[in-house]
Amino acid sequence: MSPRLRPELDGIPIYKPGRPPAVADGVTAYKLSSNENPYPPLPGVLEVAAAAAQSFNRYPDLACTALHAELADRFEVPVAHIATGTGSVGVAQQLVQSTAGAGDEVIYAWRSFEAYPIIAQISGATSIQVPLDADENHDLDAMAAAITDRTRLIFVCNPNNPTGTIVRRAELERFLDRVPSDVLVVLDEAYIEFVADADFPNGVELYRDRPNVSVLRTFSKAYGLAGLRVGFAIAHEPVAAALRKTAVPFGVSQLAQDAAVASLRAEDALLERVKALVVERARVHEGLAAQGWTLPETQANFVWLRLGERTLDFAAACERAGVTVRPFPDEGVRITIGETEANDVLLRTAEAFRKEL
């Protein structure tokens, strides 16, 4: 007999990481499959991380004191409203664990971030997936209509992964007004630094007078610390306190804490890089549109091509050309904005693929 495992674990989808590029002879390989930042760590961050590495025989600061203070200062929120975790995926999992168990429901758009169904199911909760509308946007009316007395948490992924689309301020406020005050709304803003739309609702402003709204942010994307695993929530007291209870003790390493603080302090360099990526994003988007592709406007560091049954063929063509993209079979392909050369290869490949259709 094998040990009895919780039946909730049956059928949990395995998180598919973006694949690293296969290296073929004479072809430069680029990874455009995980929405990572193509730039090396921000100035000064590597030095700080190296210094922190000197003492990794010691446990990190459990309370993440310096990082929490820095974040509280940056966002002008009480330090008690900050909670950090092992990436914002880790914090998202804690939020679900804190609110939803067997018989409870978690609502989110679909397709959206693939971690949501996994963490809901681990908690024993039921996922209520509300299809995106025809333009790849959150269908907030349908999401509001899906709320029942079993709903405990709603994710709004803004911008949405993998489509890059955003929910705008007025429609989000209207939606929040319709959500019962005992249901937690989590605004997952992993890509907020890349947003250029003036109508984008900054979650940190929205959460202030709404006790049932929490904001998720990460150092993995714009800040370029994906490998260090640090993300955070900004949440009102009872929720933030629940996050401190559900945290894996010492989950965020000292290296990650110190590198995150240093990254926050290197904001000028960060903004420059983000600006360059946003320019590249426009070039890729316009290039694809000029080739005849129809694709949603994106405010994140990736573009989305709804390719349907041609998804895997397109991904294979990219792979042969040296770029790895992220296919969702029979749905579409998410392509991260990377180095200029990588984006050039992608545009050439997409053009050739289109000509053969």
Contact residues toward ligand PLP (CB under 6 A) are 35, 87-89, 113, 157, 161, 188, 190, 218, 220-221, 226, 231
Q: Which is nearer to ligand PLP, 322 or 338 (CB)?
A: 338
Do residues 152 and 106 touch, judged by C-beta distance below 8 A? yes
| Nearest distance, CB of residue 111 and ligand PLP, angstroms | 11
| Nearest distance, CB of residue 162 and ligand PLP, angstroms | 8
Q: Residues, the chain, total?
A: 357
Alpha helices in 100-230 (DSSP H): 115-123, 140-145, 169-178, 203-207
| Nearest distance, CB of residue 264 and ligand PLP, angstroms | 15
Q: Which is nearer to ligand PLP, 203 or 287 (CB)?
A: 203
Closest residue to ligand PLP, judged by C-beta, is 87
Q: DSSP for 87-129?
A: HHHHHHHHHHHHH--TT-EEEEEES--THHHHHHHHHTPEEEE
Q: Which is nearer to ligand PLP, 87 or 287 (CB)?
A: 87
Q: Which is nearer to ligand PLP, 111 or 236 (CB)?
A: 111
One-letter amino acid at 143 equals: M
Do residues 217 and 232 touch, judged by C-beta distance below 8 A? yes
| Nearest distance, CB of residue 190 and ligand PLP, angstroms | 4
Measure the CA–CA gap between 355 and 344, rounded to whole angstroms: 17
Q: Which is nearer to ligand PLP, 201 or 231 (CB)?
A: 231
Strand partners, 326: 334
Helix (H) / strand (E) containing 233: strand 231-234
| Nearest distance, CB of residue 353 and ligand PLP, angstroms | 25
